[in-house]
Structure 1
Amino acid sequence: MTVVLKNNYLTVQINSKGAELASVKSNDGIEYIWQADPAVWNRHAPVLFPFVGRLKDDQFKVNGQTFPMGQHGFARDMDFTVVEQDVNHAILELTSNPATLAKFPFEFTLRLHFTLTDHELVERYEVRNPSRDQELLFSIGGHPGFNLNLGDNQTGMNNSVLKIAPKQNFTQIPLQAPYIDPAHPVQFDAFQPLELSHELFKDDAIILELNQNQTTLMTENTTNDHGISFTVDDAPYLGIWSPYPASGDFICLEPWWGIADTVEFDGELKDKVGINQLAAGKEFNRQFSISFF
């Protein structure tokens, strides 16, 4: 099923499978979301839940019991229920069930809220813990892919830049792919625009520590005035990624409330770096906004 939001400027399509943002198209025909070419990357904007990134040996432990789990968890491949929709707003929901509990032993309700206002789309993650007595341990994140070839066949990765505000030095967490190596951080200079290229991602994603500070990223090219502006208020981490060596003219801007395992981690889920601990009966809400121009 496809959910459609529409106003005088944009038409938005959301797939009920994975609650995945599949298209944002301007009324003059510009497509802003990567169209999932299977030869390059076969997704648009997956939701990462209940894990972000790779787990050590593709498994996790709860109370000494080991559970297998693939990269980024399972929500992106599950069918969500549309619980509310009008022309500008939609809510899609995934709830725990016997199949999820067998591989992830926590009750949860995950809702994705999409709100379209003029040129802006806001995506909000709502996680509820319906348990009466068990803490919910989880990570969540976004992985939207944004086209860089906007409105002109001459635009693309190699004549695009990414601007980051605030202009400052960020802490970058290195990867020993697919795991993180936070013991050896490096400095990322955001005082100047980041010149994009496919080779920039030969070692996988650029991971920045945001420390819950509001951060805005904006794409620009040398040919026209089209791009996106992406703002997240309170994420601890942000991934910047495009595939390599397979290449496409798009970039993923990924707000994360959670992160991949460290190179040495082999412990209980409650001790995992960046894990969220949600008490019984409580609710977690985080969001990001995207402006399209």
Structure 2
Amino acid sequence: MTVSIENGQLIVTVNEQGAEMTSIKHKETGLEYLWTADPQYWGRHAPILFPIVGALKNSTYRYEGKEYTLPQHGFARDRQFEVVAKEADRVSLCLKADEATKAVYPFDFELYVHYELGGEGLQVRYEVKNPAAKELLFSVGGHPGFNVPLTDDLTFEDYYLAFSPMKSRITLPLKGAFIDAAQKTLSATNTNLRLSHEMFANDALVFESKGLTKITIASDRSPHSVSVAFNNMPYFGIWSPYPKEAPFLCIEPWAGIADTLEATGELSEKLGIQSLAPGETFMTKYAITVK
């Protein structure tokens, strides 16, 4: 089932399966900003990444001497969430640990996903609670895809990425599905980056993020754009499938990251892993603004 929220400008639809946004539509223009999940390119819209972000080496990790298997980006995106609060312009959904999750991830947890509209934008907030008597190890992140081009008269290559603040950032190259941390470099995100499909020939572009970061997808030939802004997300990815010439782009804020080539497999040693003490709550968020 799906639920919808709206205000004077936008209508946002969320699927209870995976608590995944399936539509961000402007009420006046009818413009759809969120990727349509065409399966010939990528059959998702905006999956939630939990309890890991990215891939594990051999799809496995170790915790307290036992080995477990998790697919890329974890299991939350394929689980049924419960709607726990709903108003006209906001909705909250929750996923809690059960026998199925504990078979692959031996932790008690409560994952809340909050969507709230305001003006021309949408705030997406993740809240992770630890109800157990031991620490909770996890990662969480977003993976929203946006239609590029936003209108039929333009092409993917008509768009560019604008970064704010305009400064260089550390980029972490991928080797296969894993981070090659030894080859990290400084990337020229101090200028606009023209989009092309070939820029994703080595999969996603992965960056470190410090402080407030805003990434805008825009074109000089259109008044329409979409921005993603976040603060408490130490990494982000930018992705479109290659060699498919897919008409969408993902901007992905992450509190976590894929395994490095040197990863030991111990969950507590994983790069970007979050640790939450008993009874504590972790919160992070990102905002989507459209024109």
TM bracket (short chain): over 0.9
- Answer with 264-273 or 19-28: which moved more: 264-273
> What whole-Å deviation, never above 9, does each CA across 1:208-246 have from its counterpart, x for those lacking one?
1013x1001111113211011211012110101111112
Q: Which consecutive segments of 4 or more residues in structure 1 shift more than 3 A?
A: none
Q: Is the 8 A contact 2:59 2:72 kept in 1?
A: yes
The CA deviation string for residues 128-165 of structure 1, in whole angstroms up to 9 with x for no partner, is 0000x211000000000011222x31223111000001
Residue of structure 1 equivalent to 2:125: 124
Q: Determine if contact 2:147/2:247 at 8 Å carries over to the other structure.
A: yes
| Cα deviation, residue 11, structure 1 | 0.7
Q: Residues 17-36 of structure 1: matches in 2 within 5 Å?
A: 17-27=17-27, 28-36=29-37
Residue 225 of structure 1 is matched in structure 2 by 223
* Mapped contact 2:17–2:81 kept (Cα < 8 A): yes
What is the rounded CA distance, in whole Å, between the counterparts of 1:67 and 1:230 in structure 2? 33
- Any conservation in 1 of the 2:147–2:249 contact (CA below 8 Å)? yes
Partner of 1:263: 261
Contact 1:173 1:180 in 2 (8 A): yes
Instruction: Measure, in 2, the Cα distance between the counterparts of 1:166 and 1:117.
Output: 23
Quick check: 1:148–1:227 contact (8 Å CA) kept in 2? Answer: no
- In the alignment, the residues of structure 2 paired with residue 104 and residue 203 of structure 1 have an alpha-carbon distance, to the nearest angstrom, of 30
Q: CA deviation at 1:266?
A: 2.5
- Aligned residue number for residue 109 of structure 1: 110
Tell me the equivalent position of 1:156.
Answer: 155
TM-score, normalising length: structure 1: 0.97
User: Where does the alignment leave 5 or more consecutive residues of structure 1 unmatched?
Assistant: none
Query: Is the partner of 1:99 in helix, strand or coil?
Result: helix
1:16 matched residue in structure 2:
16
Residue 46 of structure 2 corresponds to residue 48 of structure 1: no
The superposition leaves residues 95-139 of structure 1 with CA deviations (integer Å, 9 ceiling, x where unpaired) of: 0011111110000000000000121100000000000x2110000
Q: What is the CA-CA distance between 1:267 and the residue it aligns to? A: 3.1
Using the TM superposition, name which of 102-111 and 221-230 deviates more.
221-230
Q: Which residue of 2 aligns with 1:182?
A: 181
Deviations 1:35-74 (A, max 9, x none): 0000000000000000000001000100121001110000
- Letter matched to residue 17 of structure 1: Q
Could you say what secondary structure the match of 1:262 adopts?
A: coil
Q: Tell me, yes or no, if the aligned pair for 2:112 and 2:128 is still in contact at 8 Å.
A: yes
- Tell me how far apart the structure 2 counterparts of residues 247 and 66 of structure 1 sit (CA, whole Å): 38
CA contact (8 A) 1:12 1:24 kept: yes
Question: TM (normalized to structure 2)?
Answer: 0.98
**Backbone CA RMSD of aligned residues:** 0.9
Between the aligned residues of both structures, percent identity stands at: 42
Q: Which amino acid aligns with 2:34?
A: I
Q: Distance in 1 between matches of 2:82 and 2:172?
A: 36
Aligned partners of 2:262, 2:215: CA distance in 1, in Å?
Answer: 32
Letter in 2 for 1:87: A
8 Å CA contact 2:57–2:265 kept in 1: the answer is: no
What stretches of structure 2 of length at least 5 have no aligned partner?
Answer: none
Equivalent position of 2:193 in the other structure = 194
CA contact (8 A) 1:154 1:223 kept: no
Give distance in 2, aligned partners of 1:90 and 1:163. 30
Distance 2:23 2:265 in 1: 39
**Which residue of the partner structure matches residue 276 of structure 2?**
278
Tell me, yes or no, if the aligned pair for 1:122 and 1:287 is still in contact at 8 Å: yes
Deviates further, 262-271 or 116-125: 262-271
Aligned residues of 1:162 and 1:196 also touching (Cα < 8 A): yes
Q: Is the 8 A contact 2:149 2:159 kept in 1?
A: no
